[in-house]
Amino acid sequence: MTSTLAGPAVAREPEGAPPVRAELTGLDLLAGGALLVVSLSAWAALVLAHVGHHTAPGVFALAAAALVVVVVLAARSGRGRFRVRADVPGLVVAVGCAAVAAALTFPGFSYGVVDKDPGVYVAHAASIARTGSYAFVDPLLGSAAPVQLAGPGARLPGVWIHGQKAADGSCGPHADGCTIVPQFYHLWPAWLATSYELGGHRALFWTVPVPAVLSVLLLVALLRRAGDALLGSRRGPAGLAAGAAGGLLLATNMLEVWQSRFPTTEVLAQSLYLGALLGVVVALQTGWRPAAGLAGLWVGIGWLNRADGVLLVVMAVGVGALLLAVRRWDARAWWGAAGLAAVLPHALRQAYDYAAYYSAANQVPTEKVLAATCVGLLLAGAAIGLADRAVARRRGGGLVALAQVRRVQVVLGALVTLGAAGLLTLGYLRPRLFGEDTFDYLGRTVRSFDEQIMARLTWFFTLPGFGLMLLGVAVVALRRWRASVWAVVLPTLALFPLYAYSARNSTRLLWWTRRYVPTVMPGILVLVALALAFGFVWRHRGRALLRVPSVLALGGLLAVFLSQSLPLRSHDEWKGSVQVAEQVSALSPGKTGLYLWEPNQGCCTGPTQLFATPVWLAEGEVSALLPVDPANRAVVIADYRKRFPGMPLFVVADKGQLPEGVDPAAVTPLTTIDYALPMWEESDFSRPDEEKTVKGQLSVWRVTGT
């Protein structure tokens, strides 16, 4: 190799003429196959939940049928045949990294409360398992009962009213189709519902970290190919070094370990994103068309999982436009488009019907805007392609030929590197340049810390880590360009500035950092791993001058990451909370109970905030809020008792005190439950690093009089 970053490792043809018969590796099949099984089972679960017939046997049958269809289509494609190279070293590295991830993450947190989004997902999963549907009818709405809402259109936080609504946000007595649809998109809770049906909360919590292990396998497979393509040794140490570094860093990073045990959507989104990148790389390097189809499929399922998955859909369309512009649209592009098209109708239906309120709340573009954007991109790409064809006929060459000129690559690569360095520097200088930033959070003006995003991320990635990331950008941009490598790096270069401009969520750490987990975090670690792999294999006059520093840098990062993540291994967020909800539900044996919860307990650890939703959605009872005005409570309790004579009626309050306005003569005390639940420290100003205990008291009375 030469002694400069810009020099090519070996003389190679541009990545444009893949072999006639594709060569896949055992690692490709392990990582991609595992993700295919998980993604198809999740999609099958969502399909059945959306039609109201979710059952575990049905999910398995539908997923198996979909898997057969995918395999048959792949086998019958023009380039469906492939040979397999075992790649034992790659498998050993990947399985080792996955084992580290599993050791740090299994099982998931015992999350049985609804203080934040994860609790809604868990409760919704249990509801889907019990009812078979993503939505359900609330017996109180439409009955003309005086239902106290938690907010406009919300029965309880995260439990949204969907359908025709009255002016006050409630459902009137003649509002047909007025149902409850819990907040968020429904792929994740539908998939977890399958586990819940098989083994209850325990099985659900053991399922939560599965996508994290998948992400590590996929990242190693991705870096195995990208590292070898970038640094030259097809079966040499470059890909192994990159895969090992990236896999270990992802498995041990505190953000990954936390989010892997947290029952929310981020790590599943991460695995789908990495799978899509792997599919693109395999398609580019081998010409195997079904890999591009799987990439499109995983992009579409990613939108079913999260509202911001629409960004990757638009990026996929943008890639298609780029292929039209450079006149490289071929059968692989058609396969990718077909894979995305297979999921897109369902994704559109969820985004603009089943979860329309959530999409609107999260500023997902309207159907018209999305369609106009995608059509505009494709038309622009086609127009540029026609112009490029005309130029190529008159003068020869074209955009692709121009991009293959080494001098052009070096100039553009230098600009990319300088641009990345400038953006990183700007990120660190924002507090000095633009001052304190604020935003509206739940009706309050609070400091957003957007001006400190880079400083706050540095707590988890370290300043040397970001330095290595920038070196990774330089390695990719200044060496001879490879399409498969740029396919891995370009999304990070586009998405990191977008997400780093504004966090757009609560400022609480670790909660704040979840926004960066699906795409930005693996992108950072990909660049770090490529930089470390470059240092490991680069030689100057036959000497590996950077091998020892690279190993030491990797060791230093791992030491920092493990020092942050290992304390989480012994922590179980909200352990014991499931049992509290079960105790409350057990007070109504044999019948569905109606529990009236005391409102206005503050945020965010009072009994109502924590347990009202789980008692309803997970345990199958019905929860409602007492009126905010104490003067109305006795009348409302009497009204509920009159309208629902067959339902045992309970009042639930905090600290053993009967809520004001409830007649003591009309109720009988049943039980008081003291709870002490572990919760990781929440902080806006420093990295959370210790466990604390949330203590409370939940008291229940049964309504026995009028």
Tell me, what's the pLDDT at 82?
83
For residue 105, what are its two tokens? 């993450």
Q: Quote the tokens at residue 442.
A: 């739940």
Please give the Cα distance from 594 to 618 (Å, whole number): 14
- pLDDT of 254 > 80? The answer is yes
Measured CA to CA, the distance from residue 683 to residue 506 in angstroms comes to 11
Cβ-based neighbour number of residue 125 at 10 Å: 30
At residue 3, the pLDDT reads 34
For range 336-363, the mean pLDDT: 96
What is the side-by-side order of every strand in the sheet holding 691-703?
622-625, 594-597, 649-654, 691-703, 667-680
Residue 156 or residue 393, greater confidence: 156
pLDDT band at 145 (very low <50, low <70, confident <90, very high): confident
Q: Residue 473, SS3? A: helix
CA dist 316 and 337 (Å) reads: 9
Residue found under tokens 């049958």: 61
Angle value at C-alpha 368, between 365 and 371, nearest 5 degrees = 90
pTM of the model: 0.95
Q: What share of the chain has pLDDT > 90, as a percent?
A: 80
Q: Distance between CA 189 and CA 482 in Å, rounded?
A: 39
Q: Does 242 or 13 have the greater pLDDT score?
A: 242
Q: Which helix (H) or strand (E) holds 541?
A: none
d(CA 554, CA 384): 44
Q: Are 91 and 27 in contact (CB under 8 A)?
A: yes
Q: Are the C-beta atoms of residues 185 and 237 closer than 8 Å to each other?
A: no
Strand partners, 683: 509
* pLDDT tier for residue 85 given thresholds of 50, 70 and 90: very high
First to last CA, the chain: 88
Contact status, residue 228 vs residue 272, Cβ threshold 8 Å = no
Q: Give CA separation, 639 vs 140, 349, 623, in Å.
A: 11, 39, 15
Please report the pLDDT score of residue 169 as a whole number.
Answer: 54
Q: How far apart are CA 238 and CA 230, in angstroms?
A: 9
Alpha-carbon distance of 283 to 278, in angstroms, equals: 8
297 Cβ neighbours under 8 A, 6+ residues apart? 39, 70, 339, 340, 342, 343
- Quote the percentage of the chain above a pLDDT of 70: 94
- Tell me the longest C-alpha to C-alpha distance in the chain: 95
Higher pLDDT, 75 or 15: 75
- Cα atoms found within 13 Å of the Cα of residue 676, Cβ hemisphere only: 3
Give the Cα separation of 377 and 322 in Å (integer).
9
Q: What's the whole-number average pLDDT of the chain?
A: 91
pLDDT tens-digit readout, 460-505: 999 999 999 999 999 999 999 999 999 999 999 999 999 999 888 8
Residue 5 has pLDDT above 80, yes or no: no
Q: For the segment 114-127, what is each residue's pLDDT rounded down to a tens digit?
A: 999 999 999 999 99
Q: Please give the pLDDT value at position 314.
A: 97
What's the confidence (pLDDT) of residue 260? 97
* CA quadruple 300, 306, 311, 313: dihedral, nearest 10: 10
Please state which of the ranges 199-203, 397-401, 507-511, 533-537 shows the lowest mean pLDDT: 397-401
**Weakest mean pLDDT among 303-307, 446-450, 514-518:** 446-450
Residues whose CB falls within 8 Å of the CB of residue 136, separated by 6 or more in sequence, listed in order: 127, 179, 180
Residue 4 pLDDT: 35
Q: Summarize pLDDT for 437-464 with one digit per residue, the tens.
A: 888 876 788 888 999 999 999 999 999 9
Amino acid at 78: G
> Would you say residue 165 has pLDDT above 80?
no
**In the block, which residue shows the tokens 């600290």?**
655
Q: pLDDT value at position 14?
A: 43
pLDDT at 604: 73
pLDDT digits (tens, 9 = 90+) for 594-610: 999 999 777 778 999 99
d(CA 18, CA 503): 41
Amino acid 19: pLDDT: 55
For 322-331, the pLDDT digits (tens) are: 999 999 999 9
Q: Please tell me the distance from the alpha carbon of residue 654 to that of residue 218, in angstroms, as a whole number.
A: 47
In this predicted structure, the answer to whether residue 670 has a pLDDT above a threshold of 70 is yes
- pLDDT tens column, 357-408: 999 999 999 999 999 999 999 999 999 999 999 888 887 778 888 888 999 9
**CA dist., res. 204 & res. 188, Å (int):** 11
Q: Does the structure show a pLDDT above 50 at 563? A: yes
What confidence score (pLDDT) does residue 341 get? 98
The alpha-helical segments, DSSP class H, found in 11-165 are 26-50, 56-76, 88-105, 117-131
The secondary element (H helix, E strand) that includes residue 179 is strand 179-182
